């Protein structure tokens, strides 16, 4: 366990060194540490943000300084408390980590899947086989990033792994479901992007007027459900 500064109002708790070797265990360990930190209710802490092998903690330095001991910087005081708090985080059984199963409807028809043929050529699978594999798998949300609410999902079948596009697109529509390397993800809003788009969901993944503003959270389990064009339009309304 390592705690390092991230600017003057944030820090990083490094939980694991690697993710790829054991992604499920790494994600559970990160979620365990995040849970411990949130339960501790440390003064001045504003937010925690889990990633693949780390938890970022953002804080109000003035509040932390007021609560801390004399002679310690806000970072040092927090680092010492964090080391004490997460020392036994692994005692939380994996089954006690709260997860939700989220179903995401996806239309894989050609107008929403401009890169499906490219993925088919790379994987040597038919479009039907790609859709069957992609929608028949359970994924985990490892973290959110890139744009607000963008979920990086692990669990993609190895047969579907496809390198990112050599030239990213300047604009990808909101709801686009795509493959990038060994992961799949969903673009929450219109943005540039270099992943291979194979479908689109009518669900809105980010809404700043809601609390929380994101549909998916780190640790969630996700399944994609294939829908038709008429179903897409009905759900979009």
Mean pLDDT, rounded, for 84-112: 80
Give pLDDT, residue 20. Answer: 84
Which residue, among 113, 121, 115, 120, has the nearest Cα to 165 in the 3D structure? Answer: 115
CA 56 – CA 48 distance, rounded (Å): 6
104 near 203, Cβ under 8 Å? yes
Whether 125 and 149 map to the same domain: the answer is: yes
Give pLDDT, residue 97. Answer: 67
Boundary of a domain, candidates 96, 113, 145: 96
pLDDT tens digits, 181-198: 999 999 999 999 999 999
Which residue, among 142, 123, 141, has the nearest Cα to 133 in the 3D structure? Answer: 123
Whether 51 and 128 map to the same domain: the answer is: no
- Domain holding 90, by residue range, is 2-96
Whether 228 and 158 map to the same domain: the answer is: yes
**Residue 146: CB atoms within 10 Å:** 17
Measured CA distances, 23 to 18, 26, 190 (Å):
8, 5, 29
Whether 43 and 57 map to the same domain: the answer is: yes
Go through the chain and tell me how many residues it has. Answer: 237
Q: Please report, rounded to a whole number, the percentage of residues in the chain having pLDDT higher than 90.
A: 82
For position 49, which CATH number holds? 3.30.1360.40
- Report the run of H or E that residue 184 belongs to, with start and end: strand 183-186
* CA atoms lying within 13 Å on the CB side of residue 21: 4
CA 43 – CA 36 distance, rounded (Å): 14
Whether 232 and 142 map to the same domain: the answer is: yes
> pLDDT at residue 130 above 80?
yes
CA 67 – CA 76 distance, rounded (Å): 12
> pLDDT at residue 91 above 70?
no
For position 126, which CATH number holds? 2.40.100.10
Whether 30 and 119 map to the same domain: the answer is: no
Whether 116 and 164 map to the same domain: the answer is: yes
DSSP string, 74-129: HHHHHHHHHHHHGGGGGGS-GGGS---EEEEEEE-SGGG-TTHHHHHHHHT--HHH
Boundary of a domain, candidates 40, 70, 96: 96
> pLDDT at residue 9 above 80?
yes
Three-state secondary structure string covering 28-62? HHHHHHHHHHHHHCCCCEEEEEECCCEEEEEECHH
Boundary of a domain, candidates 40, 61, 96: 96
> Tell me, what DSSP letter sits at residue 137?
-
Average pLDDT, the chain: 92
pLDDT tens digits, 10-44: 999 999 988 888 888 899 999 999 999 999 999 99
CA 183 – CA 57 distance, rounded (Å): 25
Whether 79 and 169 map to the same domain: the answer is: no
Give pLDDT, residue 88. Answer: 67
pLDDT tens digits, 30-85: 999 999 999 999 999 999 999 999 999 999 999 998 887 667 899 999 999 999 99
């Amino acid at each position: 366990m390592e705690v390092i500064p991230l600017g003057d109002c944030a820090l990083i708790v490094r939980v694991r060194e690697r993710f790829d070797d054991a992604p499920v265990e790494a994600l559970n360990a990160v979620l365990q540490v995040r849970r411990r930190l949130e339960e501790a209710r440390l003064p001045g802490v504003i937010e925690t943000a889990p990633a693949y092998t780390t938890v970022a903690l953002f804080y109000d330095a003035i509040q932390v300084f007021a609560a801390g001991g004399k002679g310690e910087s806000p970072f040092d005081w927090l680092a010492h408390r964090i080391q004490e708090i997460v020392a036994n985080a692994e005692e939380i059984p994996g089954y006690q980590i709260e997860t939700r199963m989220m179903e995401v409807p996806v239309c894989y028809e050609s107008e929403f899947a401009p890169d499906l043929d490219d993925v088919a050529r790379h994987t040597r699978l038919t479009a039907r086989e790609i859709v069957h594999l992609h929608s028949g798998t359970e994924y985990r949300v490892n973290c959110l990033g890139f744009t607000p609410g963008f979920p990086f999902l692990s669990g993609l079948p190895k047969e579907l792994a496809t390198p990112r596009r050599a030239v990213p697109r300047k604009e990808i529509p909101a709801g686009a479901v795509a493959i990038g390397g060994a992961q799949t993800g969903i673009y929450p809003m219109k943005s540039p992007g270099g992943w291979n788009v194979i479908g689109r969901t009518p669900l809105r993944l980010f809404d700043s007027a809601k609390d929380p503003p994101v549909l998916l959270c780190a640790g969630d389990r996700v399944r994609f459900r294939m829908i038709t064009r008429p179903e897409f339009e009905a759900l979009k309304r």
